[in-house]
Amino acid sequence: MSKNGHDNIKRFMRGLIKRNPGEPEFHQAVHEVAESLLPFIREHREYRRARILERMTEPDRIVIFRVTWEDDRGRFRANRAWRVQFNNSIGPYKGGLRFHPKVNLSVLKFLGFEQTFKNSLTGLPIGGAKGGSNFNPKGKSDREVMRFCQSLMLELHRHIGDDIDVPAGDIGVGRREISYLFGQFKRLQNRFAGILTGKGLSFGGSLIRTEATGYGSVYFMEKMLAHRGEDLEGKTCVVSGSGNVALYTIEKLSQLGARVVAASDSGGFVHDPQGIRDEKLEWLKSLKEARRGRISEYAEEFGCDYHAGKRPWGVRCDLAFPSATQNEIRGDDAKALLDNGLLGLSEGANMPSTVEAQRRFHAARILFGPAKAANAGGVAVSALEQSQNALRISWSRDEVDSRLREIMKNIHEKCVRYGEEDDGYVDYVRGANIGGFVKVADAMLAYGVV
Ligand code: NDP
Ligand code: 2IT
């Protein structure tokens, strides 16, 4: 990039940081996008004149509220919750809710900003949002989680709706939480509508939604490999996390002939050189989905190594699937992966690679599938759930899965269209950023000064 180009980004970021002090995750997400987009915008006068990127980095609105609830011992508890409605230019706001003690406004703004581009990439009519709370579901009883969710919905229901904003799950928010939230919404508004996705199958949920993010991340990797004349067969893989995204990434990888040798949680990682598959995978699913146990129990059950307090990136692999949280791959982790011969990485989590890690992956020219492309399968099937709800029908597993495959293929094509360089190398980061930007930006231009 020219000196002028660098100065341009610096100037833009200075303004953004000044307007949004103390929000490092938000700065990081915008910086990555600005690096791809500012040179592109310079070549398109209409976007420059309309100050599109300045406007796209300002959320439409943010709702912040207190959630008061009572724990099992009768004590009063208070948490904070947010809904960041980032951009509804191409459809109603859409994006998950995260319950985790480290949730703050910076994290939710980065997630909402990313969501706007991701949702556009799916080709479906969904705007970008994110929300959540600093509530920690770990160690809470089902009743406590229910009371918290009901109290949260008491406020949130005023701000969401099937044509307004449709939340879903994310870290700490799965089927149980969505069910409590949906039940409370229905009670408050006396109407049954698709105002949340990831619902139970008996009350409007879609087949494949549970699997969609993990499956989609693997389908995206398949497409990147195919573009280089390779496939998944026999590849050794490392997955981080053991939650919703990780479990179904592992499942699809093993179905497609790859071997997953590591998985993790916030306590550490397990290394199973034989591969996490078949009855071992089913055991892990029930450990995490039903019993809410720790990954260390997998090592005890199957007699493999457990590394407490460590991330899994030192394990030799061909392919990596970070599927836990933001900034979980640091510069030294990226170096370890590359030194071990990493071929490709698909980001199941949102922004799992630090700036330094991304720089190393880019320099090594590996297949790097950025989150907004690689993990878009989850929200895409959420949008399919919305369509089924609106039509009051349910599609079969095969129908939803084949639509998901088609969507991931189209996202891959968009990334290639905007990210392919003269020598055939595809910069998927640039491709996803520009590919996601154009549709939203054109809608904003059409609306005039809004
Ligand atoms: P879950 O809550 O189901 O699982 C999260 C997993 O990541 C758990 O294994 C958890 O371990 C681990 N984890 C969470 N925070 C940390 C941390 N700070 N350090 C280390 N490990 C951590 O969440 P999901 O699987 O739904 O989400 C995982 C990632 O995927 C997130 O980045 C999310 O934004 C992204 N994503 C999710 C989508 C979805 O459809 N659910 C869609 C697209 C992206 P522990 O249990 O010990 O906390
Ligand atoms: O980050 C994400 O894309 C999600 N957590 C899923 C959002 C959704 O609306 O399904």
CA of 171 to the centre of ligand 2 (A): 10
Query: Span 365-389, mean pLDDT?
Result: 98
The values of phi and psi at residue 381, to 5°, are: -70, -25
Query: Span 137-142, mean pLDDT?
Result: 97
102 CB neighbour count, 10 Å cutoff: 11
User: What atom in ligand 2 is closest to the CA of residue 167?
Assistant: 9
> Which pLDDT value is given to residue 5?
83
pLDDT at position 1 over 80:
no
Query: Span 219-241, mean pLDDT?
Result: 98
CA of 345 to the centre of ligand 2 (A): 20
Q: In a mutational test of the pocket of ligand 2, which residue from 130, 215, 375, 411 has the highest number of ligand atoms less than 8 Å from its CB?
A: 375
Arithmetic mean of pLDDT over the chain: 98
Q: How far is CA 3 from CA 7, 9, 45, 442, in A?
A: 6, 10, 20, 28
CA of 13 to the centre of ligand 2 (A): 27
pLDDT band at 27 (very low <50, low <70, confident <90, very high): very high
> Which pLDDT value is given to residue 4?
83
Identify whether 130 is a catalytic site residue. Answer: yes
pLDDT band at 48 (very low <50, low <70, confident <90, very high): very high
Could you list the beta-strand ranges (E) of 276-380. 305-308, 319-321, 344-346, 367-369
> Which pLDDT value is given to residue 343?
98
pLDDT in tens, 247-303: 999 999 999 999 999 999 999 999 999 999 999 999 999 999 999 999 999 999 999
pLDDT band at 3 (very low <50, low <70, confident <90, very high): confident
User: What atom in ligand 1 is closest to the CA of residue 100?
Assistant: 15
The H-assigned helical ranges of 228-354 are 244-255, 278-285, 296-302, 331-339
d(CA 267, CA 239): 15
Ligand closest to 379 (CA) is 2
pLDDT in tens, 400-420: 999 999 999 999 999 999 999
CA of 266 to the centre of ligand 1 (A): 9
pLDDT at position 223 over 80:
yes
Domains of the chain (ranges, CATH numbers): 61-193 (3.40.50.10860), 212-369 (3.40.50.720)
User: What atom in ligand 2 is closest to the CA of residue 198?
Assistant: 10
> Which pLDDT value is given to residue 278?
97
> Which pLDDT value is given to residue 258?
98
